[in-house]
């Protein structure tokens, strides 16, 4: 019978599947580091009723960002990153392809240089099965074990080329299987796969328990349990340690597995999430080729009700970088993803010293309180007052190295460490934000931030540069409604520090004219060491699905971050043109 065939297929997949809970969302949309608020339990409903074949329809998107440089070293030179994506689909079939032109990429994106169609796929779905062949994105759980996604600002695109199957054979059950090779910019040079990189094989099984219990559903209980499994296979290579007669070749593992368990519980406004991952020894450039096993664990709890919410999170990771190529570093070819338990800052000066997740070892804690003081109270006033307090604290692990000379650690277990042992402070961030509406046409936000940034660990500072940077940041953000169609937003920011380059001042005015036009002018000025001005003016026009932005000025060099992943970007100067559409 059909039911028996489904059961046989499910049992056949169980040896490579793990008991899991994962949100069936596109990983490219998961930007928030708040595990609980961004990961809601899926009902995994099924509908076996056949649908009629629907007509195919097409969707196209274009994004192009260009720079005409006026900097001395690259004067009158055009740079640009352009992407054209086309999708044709109906209720059963989907075909997609993306053309990318980074022949002369924007400054800071040089490793991505290339031109071609690196992303294409065909996907079919019928009843309780979905199959994708080609390039795809996915993630298991929070991404601790496996996550592929695209983040163009950071130059990240680690899509897997191969096959992906998703099965929902029973209500509340979802099985995923993936196999293939990750993308590394344009290094395939027209080939389907690159023999110099490893391959992935993984599976995921998620179970939503409340789907099997009417009592749980009636009482608003949601419980999901499970885990994931991923293994990478990579060819052997010659890596030696020692010199002379003591020179030896490392015995490298050809297959490295990683696995994880997770659970999610929700009841009303209360949500609890826990996940644990374990990775077998994986000597690589990330850990200086040691044979130490890796592990990671996180706990997250949130509670919300009308006018208030609380979030508490803790994470510990140790030697948990996982890549398709053992010699790769920085952002390419990451198989897993570790969210940063720190505030994702959007204000310019608050983002000067961002935190990047340290997969080699960290203890991270984050807590946030949001509270709305009601209208017509002493603190709420006529329109109410919003308060947000966010605290982040990250420390290293208390490691005891097996050798004093770092060069002698290659080929060993590297170190010993106690689970609860904590080392040096990596990052601290205390944010206090007050949001207030004064009148129907005026509201503002005041923010104070206190940051401690380990410049040595997070930015590789050496020599006379300060090991830690202490910064106090003040932000005013006000919005004035001048008429039904015209609004003016202004920002004033001030960063004070005695380390690094000293103090910064930032000001911005943004005029919005509905429905299509926005004008802005900003100035970022270092009053300390450099005395440099960074002035930027821009005009943005939107019409339907089309958006065009033109700007001119100079941008500051520094760290560009998203979700705890960072890359260094150089200073640029010139005329910028950006166009995007989705048809």
Tell whether the model's pLDDT for residue 3 goes beyond 50. Answer: no
Question: What local confidence, expressed as pLDDT, does residue 261 receive?
Answer: 97
Quote the mean pLDDT of the chain.
89
Give the side-chain half-sphere CA count within 13 A for 251: 1
pLDDT in tens, 258-316: 999 999 999 999 999 999 999 999 999 999 999 999 999 999 999 999 999 999 999 99
pLDDT in tens, 399-432: 999 988 888 889 999 999 999 999 999 999 999 9
Question: What local confidence, expressed as pLDDT, does residue 305 receive?
Answer: 94
Tell whether the model's pLDDT for residue 157 goes beyond 70. Answer: yes
Q: How confident is the model at residue 464 (pLDDT cuts 50, 70, 90)?
A: low
Tell whether the model's pLDDT for residue 12 goes beyond 50. Answer: no
Q: How confident is the model at residue 182 (pLDDT cuts 50, 70, 90)?
A: very high
Q: Among residues 117, 123, 62, which one has the least CA distance to residue 88?
A: 123
Phi, psi for 461 (deg, rounded to 5): -65, 140
CA distance 28 to 467: 35
pLDDT in tens, 324-343: 999 998 889 999 999 889 99
- Share of residues in the chain with pLDDT > 90 (%): 76
Question: What local confidence, expressed as pLDDT, does residue 1 receive?
Answer: 45
Beta carbons within 10 angstroms of residue 190's beta carbon: 8
Question: What local confidence, expressed as pLDDT, does residue 404 receive?
Answer: 86
Among 56-70, 185-199, 527-541, where is mean pLDDT lowest? 185-199
pTM (whole model) above 0.85: yes
pLDDT in tens, 233-248: 999 999 888 777 778 8
Average pLDDT, stretch 184-200?
A: 89
Q: How confident is the model at residue 48 (pLDDT cuts 50, 70, 90)?
A: low
Copy the structure tokens of residue 295: 């592990």
Tell whether the model's pLDDT for residue 6 goes beyond 70. Answer: no
Q: How confident is the model at residue 28 (pLDDT cuts 50, 70, 90)?
A: very low
Average pLDDT, stretch 467-485?
A: 96
CA distance 303 to 34: 12
Tokens 């040096």: give the residue. 424
Tell whether the model's pLDDT for residue 22 goes beyond 90. Answer: no
Tell whether the model's pLDDT for residue 458 goes beyond 60. Answer: yes
Copy the structure tokens of residue 19: 């008991």
Please, what sign has the CA dihedral across residues 343, 346, 351, 356? positive
Q: How confident is the model at residue 66 (pLDDT cuts 50, 70, 90)?
A: very high
Reduced to 3 states, what is the DSSP secondary structure of residue 536?
strand
Specify the higher pLDDT residue, 9 or 546: 546
Strand ranges (E), 280-341: 294-305, 308-318
Tokens 């991923």: give the residue. 230
Tell whether the model's pLDDT for residue 456 goes beyond 60. Answer: yes
Tell whether the model's pLDDT for residue 42 goes beyond 90. Answer: no
Question: What local confidence, expressed as pLDDT, does residue 196 receive?
Answer: 83
| Cβ contacts of 217 within 8 Å, gap of 6 or more | 210, 211
């Amino acid at each position: 019978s059909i039911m028996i065939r489904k059961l046989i297929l499910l049992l056949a997949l169980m040896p490579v599947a793990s008991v899991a809970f994962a949100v069936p969302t596109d990983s490219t949309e998961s930007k928030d580091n708040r595990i609980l608020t961004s990961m809601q339990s899926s009902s995994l409903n099924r509908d076996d009723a056949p649908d009629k074949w629907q007509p195919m329809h097409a969707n196209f998107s274009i994004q192009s960002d260009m720079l005409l440089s006026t900097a001395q070293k690259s004067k009158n030179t055009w740079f640009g990153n352009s992407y054209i994506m086309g999708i044709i689909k109906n209720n059963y079939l989907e075909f997609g392809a993306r053309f990318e032109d980074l022949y002369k990429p924007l400054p800071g994106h040089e490793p991505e240089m290339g031109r071609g169609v690196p992303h294409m796929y065909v996907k079919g779905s019928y009843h309780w099965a979905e199959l994708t062949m080609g390039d795809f994105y996915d993630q298991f759980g929070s991404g601790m074990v496996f996550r592929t996604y695209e983040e163009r600002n950071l130059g990240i695109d680690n899509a897997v080329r191969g096959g992906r199957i998703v099965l929902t054979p029973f209500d509340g059950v979802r099985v995923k299987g993936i196999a293939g090779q990750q993308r590394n910019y344009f290094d395939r040079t027209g080939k389907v796969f690159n023999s110099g990189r490893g391959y992935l094989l993984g599976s995921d099984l998620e179970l939503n328990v409340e789907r099997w219990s009417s009592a749980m559903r009636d009482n608003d209980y949601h419980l999901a349990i499970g885990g994931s499994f991923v293994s990478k296979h990579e060819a052997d290579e010659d890596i030696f340690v020692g010199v002379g007669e003591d020179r030896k070749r490392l015995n490298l593992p050809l297959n490295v597995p990683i696995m994880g368990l997770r659970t999610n519980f929700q009841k009303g406004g209360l949500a609890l999430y826990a996940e644990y991952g374990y990775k077998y020894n994986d000597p690589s450039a990330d850990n200086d080729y040691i044979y130490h096993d890796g592990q990671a664990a996180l706990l997250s709890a949130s509670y919300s009700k009308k006018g208030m919410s609380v979030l508490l999170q803790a994470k510990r990771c140790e030697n948990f970088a996982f890549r398709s190529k053992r010699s790769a570093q920085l952002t390419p070819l990451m198989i897993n993803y570790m969210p940063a338990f720190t505030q994702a800052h959007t204000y310019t000066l608050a983002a000067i010293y961002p935190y990047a997740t340290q997969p080699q070892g960290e203890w991270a804690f984050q807590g946030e309180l949001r509270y709305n003081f009601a209208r017509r109270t002493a603190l709420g006033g006529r329109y109410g007052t919003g308060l947000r307090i966010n605290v982040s604290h990250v420390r290293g692990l208390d490691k005891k190295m097996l050798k004093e000379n770092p060069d002698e650690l290659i080929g060993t277990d590297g170190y010993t460490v106690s689970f609860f042992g904590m080392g040096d402070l990596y990052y601290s961030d205390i944010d206090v934000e007050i949001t207030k509406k004064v009148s129907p046409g005026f509201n503002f936000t005041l923010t104070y931030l206190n940051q401690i940034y380990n410049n040595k660990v997070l930015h590789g500072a050496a020599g006379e540069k300060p090991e830690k940077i202490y910064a106090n940041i003040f932000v005013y953000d006000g919005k004035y409604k001048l008429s039904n169609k015209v609004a003016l937003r202004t920002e004033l920011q001030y960063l004070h520090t005695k380390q690094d380059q000293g103090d910064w001042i930032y000001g911005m005015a943004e005029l919005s004219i509905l429905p299509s036009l926005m004008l802005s002018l900003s100035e970022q000025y270092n009053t300390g060491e450099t005395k440099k001005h960074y002035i930027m003016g821009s005009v943005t026009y939107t019409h339907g699905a089309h958006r065009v932005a033109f700007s001119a000025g100079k941008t500051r060099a520094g760290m560009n971050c998203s979700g705890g992943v960072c890359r260094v970007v150089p200073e640029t100067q010139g005329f910028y043109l950006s166009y995007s559409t989705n048809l």
